[in-house]
Amino acid sequence: MGAYSLYFSSEENYLPNSLVLSYYKILLKGLKKNFPEKGEFFKELIKENVQDIKFTFSPKIYKQLKYIKSHPISQLTKIHLEIFKEFYPTYDIFQPDVDISILKIDPKGKKATYRFRNSVFLEENDNYIYHLHFICGLTEGILEKETNRKIECKIENYHIGGDKKDSYFDLSIIID
């Protein structure tokens, strides 16, 4: 027989994702209510402070980001979706099961539009719509930092259905 001991670090306490998500949703709802029409402001706020968020990317993600950094945009259209589909869940921790598909890539290969389904932020109403602005700010900030290229992320469209399976949002990413 063996003996073991459990060790819990006093430096880090882990909270259930559902609890953190409920706090985050309250914050989003309050921001929308008290600062209507300020989504772009919050997008820029997140983008400007993205360096303060502690991300960890897999070596595969870093390799893909390095590829984006060193190749002409015309060579990226085929791999753009796959890179983004793997990259996105690393920083949107509340939506590991979000479904991402590509709607359109422009002929010049500078813009890709993605559709996101199964989002916990578009279940019954648009109370949490500022999450999309936060995600655009994160996407721009992270990709600009890692690729040294100008990135623009825009909310193109969103639809709120009866539940999260019927709802979606469309984001575009433009790489210059």
The pLDDT tens digits for 23-62 are 999 999 999 999 999 999 999 999 999 989 877 777 777 7
What is the per-residue pLDDT across 115-170, written as a single tens digit (0 to 9) for each?
999 999 988 889 999 999 999 999 899 888 888 889 999 999 999 987 788 899 99
Provide the whole-model pTM: 0.82
The residue ranking higher by pLDDT, 60 or 6, is 60
Residue 113 to residue 84: CA distance in whole angstroms: 11
Q: Which residue segments constitute the domains of the chain, with CATH numbers given? A: 38-175 (3.30.1380)
CA distances from 57 to 4, 18, 72, 90 (A): 32, 23, 23, 7
pLDDT at residue 157, as a whole number? 96
Dist CA 6 CA 8 (whole Å): 7
Map residue 99 onto helix, strand or coil: strand
pLDDT at 2: 55
